Structure 1
Amino acid sequence: MEQRVLGRTGRKVSVIGLGTWQLGAGWGDVEREDAVKVLDAAAESGVTFFDTADVYGDGRSEQIIGEWLADHPDAGITVATKMGRRLPQVPENYTLANFREWTDRSRRNLGKDTLDLVQLHCPPTPVYSTDEVFDGLDQLVEDGAIRNYGVSVETAEEALTAIARPNLASVQIIFNPFRLKPLEEVFPAAQEAGVGIIVRVPLASGLLSGKFSRSTQFAENDHRNYNRDGSAFDVGETFSGVDYEKGLDAVAEFQKLVPEGLTTAQAALAWIVSQSGVTTVIPGARNADQARANAAAAQGVGKLGSEFDDGVRRIYDEFFREAVHPRW
């Protein structure tokens, strides 16, 4: 699989990575044995980048990855985790003391003396403009607790503020055919600054798998059930913030663009990878087959042309621009 340098980390990672929120919580239950099979399948398919967070299953995702890494010490996996959501979301909680506590916990969970990449986990907007926060992150690097740091953001404006920080390695942002705003300023600014772009929610929480319908039911502990109104966290994390019914209509149009030999999900992932500035995309997988199918999307980039790209933009303008573009 193609490898790209992840911003200022200097490390090469696969263009298709693996998001592991679902291995901890938030997407219904995934048994530990199945979670390990997902990691196995991803690595066997050429994936070299795992993304997790300290709050995914209260550390369960990190722990499963840590156990897997111990069993596969030569797998060449870069692991990115996140911190900041273990306490109420107020800027005052983003302190060096808390950073040390959170990273120490993640180091134990992952079995690593030094974490590859730690990202602030969608903190309150003022955090991005607080010098002391980034001084604290620089101190963690100096201490040897982390090698590099980045941010995970909700909005394009937050991303641009963070990219201006001189030691920022990466930005993680929502981007997919239903969320195009990062193309305008974020990706060009990141490229110019040498900052990596990690794309999350690439399939709009599964909408772009093409497998959902108006009768689809989600588990009670699946965020696609309990967070449609944004009551648990930013609604943009669930179905990319788009109306579910409208999303289904848009998927039907999107499927008309998909070339032979690719699934709906693979076409979406391949299109994301083809965008200038994107380093890696991190779809989740609940089973090994999904992990393998996602990884195979990397081979689909050459099957997409300008007509596909034009179609994506037409669908966005018709179905989502008015509601989505100004908000995120």
Structure 2
Amino acid sequence: MEQRNLGPFGPVSALTLGGGGIGHLWGKTTREECLATVKAAVDGGITLLDMAPRYGDGEAESVIGEAFGGRLPAGVRVTTKCLLGGTPPAEIEARLRSSIATSLKLMKLEKIDLFFLHSNVAPDDHPMRGHPDAAVRVTPYSVFCEHVRPLFETFVAEGLIGAWGLTGIGQPDAIIRLLGESPAPAAVQAISNPIDSPGALKFYDGPTRQRDVIATAKANGVGVLGIKAVQAGALSAEIDRPLPDDHPEMLDYKRAGRWRTLAAEIGEDPADLAHRYALTMDGVDTVVLGVKNRRELAMCLAAEARGPLDADLVRRIDESFD
């Protein structure tokens, strides 16, 4: 598999195995199939495993621990995250340390290679801080700067984590600002699909500006993990789990009718095309997969092996959503 440089984090495979699928977020699967999928991903050349406690309430991290017994294969590294939300500043350090300790125990590891803030960062006075889920999902910019970022740097110095990163689906002005500050994150997770859509994870009005997030990251030497390449199934041939008609993923699925028509015209599976589009996006270093079984993994590995899309096809894809 192609190797790319994830900013200061160094070389990683073009595809990263995400924990959402093996954490049972994207449809039914089994523990046995998840274990086999993780091992097949590494055998297929994937060198980065992107986990989080919220992927199945620790299920994804537990799969990593069982699959490798605390001894990751040579060259394989792991990420995990912590969703702080509006945790009071006095409780942040304990919350972060507890989260890291639990993740290490589940994965049977001694160090996290790359640790992400899973929260959406927003300006202190931004309306998204009034969202019903803000207490769980939104961290104020000032709290991040004054409390979270210094702790991340402390954890690096202690050897508890190798590097830290941001989830880039927060309010774009705040994310872009943080990417230009020092110390900068080693990596950012950014939406990488042709409609720049985070779906149900968008908590603010206005454009996502994900292309600007990616460009700012590259300008400042920050690695970019492309996420939501198939937008939680909206860019697939069909969504494989029941959702209400007004769900953001269903609305994006309806928007993507011309996308599926174009995929059929060129003989591509829509999900494969979405992964190849993300791999072709300028500035994306590695694309995080949400697969839940070996069949889906094999399709993604085959799509990556076919290489990037040509400029004319990228143009036609972009025009299908205009």
TM-score, L = length of structure 1? 0.80
Please give the residue correspondences for 1:139-178 in structure 2 after superposition, counting only pairs within 5 Å.
Answer: 139-155=154-170, 156-165=172-181, 166-178=183-195
d(CA) in 1 for partners of 2:298, 2:278:
17
**Which digits, 9 at most, give the CA deviation of each residue in 1:54-107, with x for residues without a partner?**
12111111011122232763242221111125xxx3152672221111111111
C-alpha distance in 1 between matches for 2:157 and 2:16 = 28
Residue number in structure 1 paired with 2:255 = 246
Compute the displacement of 1:257 (Å). 5.9
Partner of 2:225: 198
Distance in structure 2 (CA, Å) of the matches to 1:135 and 1:66: 29
What are the residue-to-residue correspondences of 1:31-46 with 2, within 5 Å? 31-46=30-45
| 8 Å Cα contact 2:235/2:253 also seen in 1 | no
Please say if residues 7 and 195 of structure 1, whose CA atoms lie closer than 8 Å, have aligned partners that are also in contact.
Answer: yes
CA contact 1:47–1:295 (8 Å) conserved in 2:
no
| Mean Cα deviation higher: 37-46 or 182-191 | 182-191
Contact 1:179–1:316 under 8 Å retained in 2: no
CA contact (8 A) 2:234 2:252 kept: no
1:123 maps to which of 120, 123, 137: 120
**How far 1:256 moved relative to its partner?**
4.8
Higher relative contact order (CA 8 A, sep 6+): 1
Q: Distance in 1 between matches of 2:55 and 2:8?
A: 26
Q: Taking structure 1 as reference, are residues 178 and 102 closer, same or farther at Cα in structure 2, changes over 3 Å only?
A: same
Whether the aligned pair in 2 keeps the contact of 1:151 and 1:162 (CA below 8 Å) is no
Partners of 1:5 and 1:131 lie apart in 2 by 30
Matches within 5 A, 1:1-328: 1-10=1-10, 12-70=11-69, 73-84=72-83, 89-90=85-86, 92=88, 95-126=92-123, 127-129=140-142, 130-155=145-170, 156-165=172-181, 166-179=183-196, 182=209, 184-210=211-237, 212=238, 218-219=241-242, 225=243, 229=247, 238=249, 242-247=251-256, 249-256=257-264, 258=266, 260=267, 262-302=268-308, 304-317=309-322
Aligned letter for 1:254? Answer: L
User: How far is the alpha carbon of 1:27 from its aligned partner?
Assistant: 2.5
SS in 1 for 2:231: coil
Secondary structure of the corresponding residue to residue 235 of structure 2: helix
- For residues 104-155 of structure 1, the C-alpha deviation after alignment (integer angstroms, 9 at most, x for no partner) is 1111111111101110003342434423210011111112111100011324
> Shift of residue 183 of structure 1?
5.8
- In the TM superposition, structure 1's runs of 4+ consecutive aligned residues that sit over 3 Å from their partners are 126-129, 180-184, 226-229
What amino acid is the match of 2:149? F
Contact 1:90/1:124 (<8 A) preserved:
no
Distance 1:245 1:188, change over 3 A: closer
The one-letter code sitting in structure 2 at the alignment partner of 1:3 is: Q
CA apart distance, 1:294: 0.6
Identity among equivalent pairs (%): 27
Give distance in 2, aligned partners of 1:36 and 1:272: 26
Checking the alignment, whether the CA contact within 8 Å between 1:45 and 1:296 is kept in structure 2 is no
Paired residues of 2:189 and 2:226 also in contact (CA < 8 A): yes
CA contact (8 A) 1:269 1:281 kept: yes
Write the distance in 2 (CA, Å) between the matches of 1:208 and 1:52. 23
What is the distance in 2 between the residues matched to 1:228 and 1:96?
39
Distance 1:185 1:217, change over 3 A: closer
| CA distance in 1: counterparts of 2:22 and 2:79, whole angstroms | 15
Distance 1:170 1:99 in 2: 18
Residue 250 of structure 1 aligns with an amino acid whose one-letter code is: R
The one-letter code matched in structure 2 to 1:134 is: R
Deviation at 1:53, TM superposition (A): 0.4
Which deviations, in whole Å up to 9, do the C-alpha atoms of 1:235-285 show, x marking residues without a partner?
5xx46xx443233x1333431564x5x432222211211222101111211
SS at match of 2:49: strand
Instruction: Please tell me the root mean square deviation across aligned C-alpha atoms, in Å.
Output: 2.4
Structure 2 counterpart SS, 1:43: helix
What's the CA shift for 1:182?
Answer: 4.8
**Given that residues 176 and 204 in structure 1 are in contact (C-alpha distance below 8 angstroms), is that contact kept between their aligned partners in structure 2?**
yes
